[in-house]
């Protein structure tokens, strides 16, 4: 774990009941691959949402040939989809090879300590306490939310590939065609579209939570996704 000790800092942390002055450490929490994956997923979701919304509801025509813009939207959508899949696969791999804050047990609360931390997180989000859970990475409740998000992403990927297989033959059709034996095509399209909106709901909540924790803890949550570094009082490590 990379750390740097910083001078004692005054009372922003006193509101958390941590005393008037504190010695803090600066810790490298988010490794470069985690940060790159984070922004790759976000940009992919933006591209997929814009193009996917257009594919479902074409609202612009800039060429005498109606298929021109739609063709570009589909091409960009498919490219962004494979970038998205690669980023998700990379994040799964990093959950087994990254540092302690990137690993899979941050998303599945297998230890009693993480389960207690999850309850503390729930109490904080529910305004039952003013003290956020003491954790450098994701608190356990946030980790569980990410697990649900990744389940949504997996569903989105499978359904997206199944829809793409309708236009192709071979590997995709043979590996994802089973989807249409479970759900009819209109339902697959509906769920694929619904998950897009649920993802944007998560984005709004994610930004709100980051701002909330950054305001309450003064630990650099927002800047950490760019730099990787967070600050934390020594007695909370």
pLDDT class for 63, splitting at 50, 70, 90? Answer: low
Distance separating alpha carbons of residues 141 and 46, to the nearest angstrom = 25
Phi, psi dihedrals of residue 178, rounded to the nearest 5°:
-60, -25
Q: By the 8 A CB rule, do 192 and 156 touch?
A: yes
Count the neighbouring beta carbons within 10 Å of the beta carbon of residue 212.
Answer: 14
Tens of pLDDT along 128-163?
Answer: 877 777 777 888 888 888 999 999 999 999 999 999
pLDDT at position 68: 78
Q: Which residues are registered as beta bridge partners of 5? A: 25
- Quick check: pTM over 0.85? no
């Amino acid at each position: 774990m990379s750390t740097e000790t910083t001078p004692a800092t005054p009372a922003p942390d006193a509101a958390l009941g941590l005393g008037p002055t504190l010695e803090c450490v600066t810790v490298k929490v988010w490794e470069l691959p985690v940060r790159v994956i984070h922004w790759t997923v976000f940009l992919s979701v933006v591209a997929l949402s814009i193009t996917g919304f257009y594919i479902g509801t074409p609202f612009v025509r800039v060429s005498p040939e109606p298929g021109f813009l739609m063709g570009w939207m589909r091409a960009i959508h498919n490219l962004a989809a494979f970038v998205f899949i690669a980023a998700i696969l990379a994040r799964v791999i990093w959950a087994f090879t990254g540092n302690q804050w990137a690993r899979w047990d941050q998303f599945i609360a297998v230890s009693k300590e993480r389960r207690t931390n999850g309850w503390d997180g729930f109490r904080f989000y529910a305004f039952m306490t003013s003290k956020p859970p003491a954790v450098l990475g994701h608190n356990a409740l946030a980790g569980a939310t990410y697990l649900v998000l990744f389940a949504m992403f997996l569903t989105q990927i499978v359904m997206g590939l199944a829809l793409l297989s309708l236009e192709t033959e071979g590997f995709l059709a043979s590996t994802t065609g089973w989807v249409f034996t479970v759900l009819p095509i209109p339902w697959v399209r509906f769920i694929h579209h619904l998950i897009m909106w649920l993802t944007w709901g998560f984005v709004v909540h994610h930004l709100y939570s980051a701002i909330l924790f950054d305001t309450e803890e003064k630990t650099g949550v927002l800047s950490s996704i760019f730099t990787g570094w967070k600050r934390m009082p020594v007695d909370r490590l």
